[in-house]
Amino acid sequence: MATVKQPSNPEANPRVKAVFDDVRATRKTDFINNLWRSLAFDPSLLETTWAEVKRLMATPTRLDPLTKELIYIAVSVANSCSYCVHSHTAAARAKGMTEAQHAELLAIIALAAKTNHLATALQVPVDDVFDVNASSS
Amino acid sequence: MATVKQPSNPEANPRVKAVFDDVRATRKTDFINNLWRSLAFDPSLLETTWAEVKRLMATPTRLDPLTKELIYIAVSVANSCSYCVHSHTAAARAKGMTEAQHAELLAIIALAAKTNHLATALQVPVDDVFDVNASSS
Amino acid sequence: MATVKQPSNPEANPRVKAVFDDVRATRKTDFINNLWRSLAFDPSLLETTWAEVKRLMATPTRLDPLTKELIYIAVSVANSCSYCVHSHTAAARAKGMTEAQHAELLAIIALAAKTNHLATALQVPVDDVFDVNASSS
Amino acid sequence: MATVKQPSNPEANPRVKAVFDDVRATRKTDFINNLWRSLAFDPSLLETTWAEVKRLMATPTRLDPLTKELIYIAVSVANSCSYCVHSHTAAARAKGMTEAQHAELLAIIALAAKTNHLATALQVPVDDVFDVNASSS
Amino acid sequence: MATVKQPSNPEANPRVKAVFDDVRATRKTDFINNLWRSLAFDPSLLETTWAEVKRLMATPTRLDPLTKELIYIAVSVANSCSYCVHSHTAAARAKGMTEAQHAELLAIIALAAKTNHLATALQVPVDDVFDVNASSS
Amino acid sequence: MATVKQPSNPEANPRVKAVFDDVRATRKTDFINNLWRSLAFDPSLLETTWAEVKRLMATPTRLDPLTKELIYIAVSVANSCSYCVHSHTAAARAKGMTEAQHAELLAIIALAAKTNHLATALQVPVDDVFDVNASSS
C-alpha cells in the first residue's frame, strides 16, 4: 500500500536519475530503497530531501556515523515511523552496530519513554539550574 | 505548577532517604533535581525508576555516557517532554557535549522528524532487504 | 499566554451563558475553568465540545466515573497535553482517586510507554491469535 | 488484522442502515469504507462519529473542501494514523488535489515537523508579541 | 517484518527458558506471544521487561485487572503502537471486557484526543486551582 | 527557560547578520523572533533552516499563503509544539485568518485527532481502493 505511485521508469527524468546516481555513488551500492523511489514523483522534493540526508548522514561530521544512526532510530521509534525504524536499523547494522549495542539502544529508548511519560504526568517543574540562561558559566 | 505535591521533608521517609543518598553518591553532588523530589510521593515508584536510571545511565555500559545522553535527548524531544529535554541537555553538557555536537544533534533530530513525516505521509512500503528475517546472514 | 482571547464578558452571549449555566449545574460548582472560557470565542465549538464531554464524562455510563478519568489522564499524558493532565488529575482527585491509585496509574502509563517503544523499535509482528477475525469465538 | 469484528450483515441493524444510507447519499457512492464498517459494532459510536464528520467535512463551511482535507492529512500524518493518511489522501484527490499540490503539502508537513522538533529541543521561549492577550488590537 | 531475529530455539538459553516458564505459569497458558520471542534476543532486556509487566499487570494491585488493561490500551493508542493495541485489547477481552465497555473506552480515548488537541491549539493557561501546590488541602 | 543561550550580540557574526537581514527584508519588519535568535548559536543550522522556511512559507507557491499556515498549525498542534502553535497562529492572523476560520481549523484538527485515535484503536484495515497502486487511473 502507498499513497503515491512510484514512477515505473523514474530515471527517464534526468533530475531523478542524477539523484539516484548520487545515492548509488555515495552508498557504493546499486540498491535504491523505496523512500527515494516514492519521492521520485516530485523531483524537487527528492532533490532537497536527499541533499539533506547526504550532508548529515553520509558525510563525515563531528558525530561518528554509528552514533548518528542510533539517534535517528531513537527519533523514528518515538515518532512511530515503521519504515524509518526498519531502514535505519539496517543502516546502523551496516555501520557496525552489534546485537549488544542494539539491545542497549532499545533499553535506553524504553527508559526515556518511561521517564518522559512520568515527568509529563507529574508536570514536574524545570529546575532553575537547567535553565541555560541562569547558569554562571 | 505540578500535579503531585513534593513532600516537604522527603528524607523523613527512610526509603526516600536511601534513594536520595544513592543519587548524591552516584552523581557526586548534593543536588537532587525535581523529578526525584516529585517521585518521592511514592517511595516504590521512586525506587524502581531510580534503579533503572542508575543501571542504564550512571553505570558503565557498552555505549559511552555521552552517546547515551544524546539518545535520551532525541527521544525526549520527539515525545515533547519539556522537563526531560532540559534535564538531559544539562546532563549531556556535564558529560562533555560541545556546542558543535549539540548543533549537530539538533540537525539530525530535525532531519529524522522530517523523513519520519514524509515516509508516513507517503506510506512507503518497507523494502524486503530491511526485513531481518529475509536476510541471508 | 494563549492563542485566542477569552471574551471579557462571555455570558453576554446567550449561547455561551447557556453552556456555562449547564457546566455549573452539572458540576454543582460556580467555577468555570479556562478551557470553556477559551472555547467561548466560538459558541458553536463550545457547545459541541461541552455536549460531548457532558455525555461521556458527566453522565452515568457503563464505566465508573473514576475509571473514565484515569483513561482520560492516560491519553492526555501520551499526547503531552499539559492543560489536560492538570485538569483531569484534579477531576480524578475530586472523584476519589487516592495517592496510591495515582502512583499506580503513573506506573502503568510509564510501563505502557516503555513497551510501546520496545514493540515499535522491534517491529514485532502481531500474533495471529490477536486478530479478532481469526478467533473462533 | 483488526481489534473489532465488522458485523457480517451490519445493515440488519436499522441504526447502522440509517448511517450507511446517509453516507451513500452524502457521498453519492455505494462504497462504505472500513472505518464505518468497523464502527458499526457500536451504533451509537457510529452515529456520533459520522454526524461530526458529515457536519465538518461533507457540508459547505468557511474553508473550502480541499483545504479541509489537506489539514486532515497533516494531523493524521503527525499522529501516525496509517488508515487516515490513506483515506484522506484519497479524499483529497477526489476533491481535486493535484500531484504538485500533494508534493507541496508533504514539503510543508516535513518542514513543520522539523521546526517543531527544533523549537522543542531548544525550548525556545514564546515571544511576547505572540501572546494574544498582550496585543493591542 | 521485524528488526530483530527471533532466536529459532530460544529456550536453549536457560535465562530465556526461565522467563518463558514464568510467563506460562503466570498466565496459565502455553502460548508465548511475539513480544517475548523478539525480546529473547537479549536475555537481560527480556528479564527486566517481563519482571515489570508481571509485577504491575499480572499481580493483584490496587487497581482491578480490567481497569489496568483499559489504561494500557489508552496509552498504546495515543502512542500509535499497533502491536500493543492488538495484544492489550485481547488481554482486556480475556479479563472480561464487554463489547459495550470497549465501545465506551474508544469513545473516551477519542474525546480525550479531541480536547487534548483543542487545549494545545488554544494554548489554554492552566487554572490556578489545578496547581496542587496552590490548594489549601 | 531555554537549553541554548541566545548570543547577546548575534549580528556580530556576519553569517547571522546576513540571515537576520534577509528575515527582516522578506517579512518587511524589524522584528526577529526567538526561534531565529536561538538558532543563531549555530550559523549553519540557522542558515539551512531559514532557507527552507523562506522557500516554502515566504515565497509564492502553488498553495496560498494562508492555507500553508493552517497546515503548519495543524502539524504543530499534533506534535505538541507550544512555540510553533503560538508563532504560526500569529502568522496565520497576519495573513488574514478570521476568527471564524480559526474556529473551523480547530474543529477539523480536533475531529482528525478523534478519528485518528479511533482508527488506531480499531486497527481498521486499509481499504483496497485507497491503495494508489491498485487504482485503474
Q: Cα E127 vs. chain centroid, distance in angstroms? A: 31
Enumerate the residues of chain E whose CB falls inside 8 A of the CB of residue F82. Answer: 120, 123
Enumerate the residues of chain B whose CB falls inside 8 A of the CB of residue E5. Answer: 132-133
Chain A nearest-CA distance from C74, in A, is: 8
Q: Minimal Cα distance from A36: which residue of B?
A: B124
DSSP designation for A137:
-
Residue E98 CA neighbour count, 13 Å, CB half = 6
pLDDT at B135 over 80: no
d(CA A123, CA E2): 35
Q: By the 8 A CB rule, do F56 and F27 touch?
A: no
d(CA E107, CA E96): 19
D100 in contact with A at a CB cutoff of 8 Å?
Answer: yes
pTM to 2 decimals? 0.97
CB contact under 8 A, C73 and A110: no
Nearest neighbour of A103 by CB, restricted to E1, E45, E75: E45
Averages of pLDDT over runs of 10 residues in chain E (137 residues) are 93 98 97 98 98 98 97 98 98 97 98 98 96 66
pLDDT at A137 over 60: no
The band of B137, judged by pLDDT with boundaries at 50, 70 and 90, is very low
Best mutation site among F101, F102, F114, F120 for testing chain C: the one with the most C CBs within 10 Å? Answer: F102
In one letter, which amino acid is A64? Answer: D
A5 in contact with F at a CB cutoff of 8 Å?
Answer: yes
Dig out the grid coordinates for D135 from the structure: 496585543
CB contact under 8 A, A85 and E44: no
Q: Which residues of chain F fall below pLDDT 50?
A: 136-137
What is the pLDDT at residue C13? 98
DSSP designation for F29:
S
Chain D nearest-CA distance from C131, in A, is: 5
Dig out the grid coordinates for A52 from the structure: 539533506
Q: By the 8 A CB rule, do A59 and A68 touch?
A: no
d(CA F78, CA D113): 10
Q: Minimal Cα distance from C83: which residue of A?
A: A123
What is the pLDDT at residue F132? 87
Enumerate the residues of chain E whose CB falls inside 8 A of the CB of residue F114. Answer: 110-111, 113-114
CA proximity to B6, closest of A116, E62, C99 = C99
- Work out the number of other CB atoms within 10 angstroms of the CB of residue B45: 20
CA dihedral D2, D4, D8, D10 (to 10 degrees): -120
Report pLDDT digits (tens) over A89-107: 999 999 999 999 999 999 9
Which residues in chain C (23-62) have CB-CB distances under 8 A to chain D? 48, 52
Contacts of residue B68, Cβ cutoff 8 Å, sequence gap at least 6? A108, B56, B57, B61
Given the C-alpha cell 546532563, which residue does it identify?
Answer: B91
Given the C-alpha cell 455561551, which residue does it identify?
Answer: C16
Q: By the 8 A CB rule, do E105 and E74 touch?
A: yes
Best mutation site among C129, C133, C135 for testing chain D: the one with the most D CBs within 10 Å? Answer: C133
For chain E, how many residues are written?
A: 137
C95 in contact with B at a CB cutoff of 8 Å?
Answer: no
For chain C, how many residues are written?
A: 137
Q: Tell me the ipTM for this assembly.
A: 0.96
| Rounded mean pLDDT, C76-101 | 98
Q: By the 8 A CB rule, do F50 and F22 touch?
A: yes
Chain D nearest-CA distance from A73, in A, is: 15
On average, the pLDDT of chain A sits at 96
User: Which long-range contacts link C10-17 to residues 24+ away (Cβ below 8 Å)?
Assistant: C10/C37, C10/C40, C13/C40, C13/C43, C15/C43, C15/C46, C15/C47, C16/C40, C16/C43, C16/C46
CB contact under 8 A, F121 and E106: yes
On average, the pLDDT of chain D sits at 96
Chain B nearest-CA distance from E54, in A, is: 14
Given the C-alpha cell 470497549, which residue does it identify?
Answer: E102
For chain B, how many residues are written?
A: 137
What is the pLDDT at residue A129? 94
Dig out the grid coordinates for B74 from the structure: 532525541
A115 in contact with C at a CB cutoff of 8 Å?
Answer: yes
| Rounded mean pLDDT, A8-19 | 97
d(CA D95, CA D42): 30
Q: Minimal Cα distance from E39: which residue of A?
A: A103
Q: Cα F125 vs. chain centroid, distance in angstroms? A: 31
What is the pLDDT at residue D135? 52
- The CA–CA distances, whole Å, from E38 to A37, C129, E53, F56, F61 equal 30, 16, 16, 43, 47
Backbone φ and ψ for D90, nearest 5 degrees, come out as -65, -40
Enumerate the residues of chain D whose CB falls inside 8 A of the CB of residue E89. Answer: 3
| Rounded mean pLDDT, A102-115 | 98
D93 in contact with A at a CB cutoff of 8 Å?
Answer: no
CB contact under 8 A, C106 and A122: yes
F105 in contact with D at a CB cutoff of 8 Å?
Answer: yes
DSSP per-residue string spanning B51-86: HHHHHHHSS--SS-HHHHHHHHHHHHHHTT-HHHHH
Angle at CA D109, nearest 5°, toward A53 and E75? Answer: 100
Q: Which chains touch B (3 or more CB pairs under 8 A)?
A: A, C, D, E, F
Q: Minimal Cα distance from A70: which residue of C?
A: C121
Dig out the grid coordinates for A90 from the structure: 539496517
Q: Which chains touch D (3 or more CB pairs under 8 A)?
A: A, B, C, E, F
Dig out the grid coordinates for C42 from the structure: 466560538
Min mean pLDDT across A70-74, B17-21, C1-5, F19-23 is at C1-5
- The CA–CA distances, whole Å, from D29 to D92, E55, F131 equal 16, 52, 18
Report pLDDT digits (tens) over B19-51: 999 999 999 999 999 999 999 999 999 999 999
Nearest neighbour of F85 by CB, restricted to C3, C44, C79: C3
CA proximity to B133, closest of E37, C57, A132 = E37
Contacts of residue D57, Cβ cutoff 8 Å, sequence gap at least 6? D65, D68, D69, D72, F108, F111
Chain A nearest-CA distance from D120, in A, is: 13
Dig out the grid coordinates for D122 from the structure: 531548544
Chain E nearest-CA distance from C14, in A, is: 22
3-state helix, strand and coil shares in percent for chain C, rounded to the nearest 5: 65, 0, 35
State the count of interchain CB pairs (< 8 A) between A and F. Answer: 25
What is the pLDDT at residue A133? 80
Q: Minimal Cα distance from A7: which residue of F?
A: F133
DSSP per-residue string spanning C63-97: S-HHHHHHHHHHHHHHTT-HHHHHHHHHHHHHTT-
What is the pLDDT at residue A135? 52
Best mutation site among C1, C62, C116 for testing chain D: the one with the most D CBs within 10 Å? Answer: C1
Q: By the 8 A CB rule, do B113 and D111 touch?
A: no
B95 in contact with C at a CB cutoff of 8 Å?
Answer: no
Crossing angle for the helix pair C65-78 and C82-94, nearest 10 degrees? 160
What is the pLDDT at residue A1? 80
